[in-house]
Amino acid sequence: MAAGLTQMARSAPAAARGERPVTTYKEDLITAALTIWPITAMFFDGRGHNNETGQESFFSLAHLFLYAGMTAVGLWVGLLVTRYQLAAGADPRKSLIPDLKAIPVGYGVAILGLLTLALGGPTDFIWHSAYGFEVGVDAIYSPPHLLLFFGGLLVSSTGIRSMWAKQDVVLDFKGFAPVLLSTTLFIGVSGFITMYLSAFMTNVTPTSDFVADYQDKSRFLDDFNDQSQSLNAGLTGYGDGQWPYYYYSASHGIASMIITTLILLGPALLLLRRWRVPFGAFTLIFTGYGLLASIMTEYRDWPLILPLFLTGLAIDLVQRRSGEERLTLGGIRTAGPIAAAVLWISYYATLAVHKGIGWEPTLWVGALMVGVLAGFGVAFLIAPPSYGPRLVDASDG
């Protein structure tokens, strides 16, 4: 079994040489559309865990919808792969390992994802039976949950991988639909896994009320403005009644911006390397992610969908100005920091109107710079220099 899976991974590049079948547009669209079901159910399950108490049953409504959706996707992918196996003359009933060359490109990883989900589901039930139901942060790091999230990432990205192998570079909106849905869901799952470091799910640290709380000396003892104590003394003075809430909250806020930038812009800029993306697609992808993420907070912070909408629109506009071809590497490197600047300037502007900003200018202006630099860094990772390194000889002096 392990040897077969290894061979499956090694044979994946063969698809680019025409040695493996490529699915049709309709098949990819059905796969992506079906995947909306379990991923959306996952967000509603997360909503229950984040906003309710006393959840002590594995058989909640959200759980049932989640596993029913996973089953539907599994059955569809199984039927699809079986169809291509039979067309290649293979008989899946005679072997547990399918003919690897007859697995459509993009769907080999989907099979691995479904196997991971099949392992994670029963393990989740057994884990809860043995250790109870996790509360708060522990729930996201439960080992069975991590298996489910990883499987969800593999399955949700199927549309991107499958469409990547096709010859098209410039797609119309209809032709791009499987990639659009797949990317929205992939970003959604990535954001779900990192929800406790998400600027759109755990975003209270810069707000006025939060900062006022830890500055209230009658409630918290903090070294926020205590110049008589060093930062290290505050971090290690566990029993002195004073704890650096400001240090941890500010660090959490900045880390959330970096992680969120990576999750949003990494997949988006990668699409720009492969396709001339139809205008409006990024606006829908980012807005779709905002709608999913807001399920977790019961739309408490719905105004923060606006920065996501504006960021997607900014990427669409940058690409539109480039003409009729794909963005160049330089264009992608330009799109990254521009998108990050739009994202974080509009984010803090919206947050200021919605809840107020409690951070001092040093911190929130610095945070904006960190966000833009993160966008710059992601862009250079996705679009590195196209020329090779020149070896320097000692005689070059």
pLDDT in tens, 3-29: 554 554 455 555 444 578 889 999 999
* Per-residue pLDDT of the chain in tens (397 residues, 90 and over written 9): 445 545 544 555 554 445 788 899 999 999 999 999 999 988 888 777 776 665 555 567 777 888 888 899 999 999 999 898 888 777 766 666 777 788 899 898 999 999 998 888 788 778 777 767 666 677 777 888 888 889 999 999 999 999 998 878 888 889 999 999 999 999 999 999 888 889 998 888 888 888 888 777 666 666 556 556 666 766 776 666 667 778 888 889 999 999 999 999 999 999 999 999 999 999 999 999 999 999 888 888 899 999 999 999 999 999 988 876 788 888 999 999 999 999 999 999 999 998 899 888 999 999 999 999 999 999 999 998 776 655 555 555 4
DSSP string, 254-270: HHHHHHHHHHHHHHHHH
CA-nearest of 372, 352, 51 to 211 is: 352
Cβ contact 145:195 at 8 Å: no
Residue 19 has what pLDDT?
A: 75
Contact residues for 253 (Cβ-Cβ < 8 A; gap 6+): 199, 205, 206, 359, 367
Residue type, 337: P
Contact of 257 with 344, CB cutoff 8 Å: yes
96 vs 389: CA distance, rounded Å: 46
Q: What's phi and psi for 207, nearest 5 deg?
A: -75, 155
DSSP category for residue 392: P
pLDDT at 1: 45
Q: pTM value?
A: 0.85
The first and second tokens of residue 238, run together, are: 């566990």
pLDDT of 16 reads 47
Residue type, 145: H
